[in-house]
Structure 1
Amino acid sequence: MTTPLDIYSFIGFIGTACIIGAYAYLTWVNEPNPFILHGTNLTGAALLTISLLVHTNWPSLVLEGFWAAIALFGLWKALQKRNAAQ
């Protein structure tokens, strides 16, 4: 592998940690907070996208676009549910 470990790689690693952390949170918590879950996934997707814009890997970049869209939809649903409850 010839890609250097630069600041963009470290940003990508933080994004990866966010997505793995969100999945672990979903698995370990009985009733996960959707704002934590989807917000962490969205943050991870955004950070990985920053990394992928510099170290382009098109399939991964497309995946992060879908990941972010799903997280945004989850946040939108959580906001609707919270507003309906109020």
Structure 2
Amino acid sequence: MKLSDIIASLGVIILLVAFLLNLYKKLEANSRAYCAMNFIGAAMCGVSSYMISFYPFVVLEGIWAGFALVSFIKVSRGT
């Protein structure tokens, strides 16, 4: 397994765990943990996509990570 595969797998796991925790009401979508998990997972997927030169997903995951980071900052500030 290549490093890009490991990074992508961990990123996807983080994203899916956040989604499932939210789905089962264990983690609110406006919580710092949820926003952080979305940012970290999307960033990892974006990095792995860059490593394999799959640029459509670099764009997708970069935008996802950007919005998750903005949400994390807003939640942290209480706004």
- 1:58 maps to which of 55, 59, 69: 55
Distance 1:37 1:72 in 2: 11
2:2 maps to 1:9:
no
Identity of aligned residues (%): 24
TM-score, normalized by length of structure 2? 0.85
RMSD (Å) for aligned C-alpha atoms: 1.7
State the shift of 1:50 in Å. 2.0
- 1:24 maps to which of 20, 23, 39: 20
Larger radius of gyration: 1
Moved over 3 A (4+): none
Distance 1:59 1:49 in 2: 10
The equivalent residue for 1:76 is 73
The equivalent residue for 2:46 is 49
Distance 2:53 2:25 in 1: 34
State the shift of 1:31 in Å. 5.7
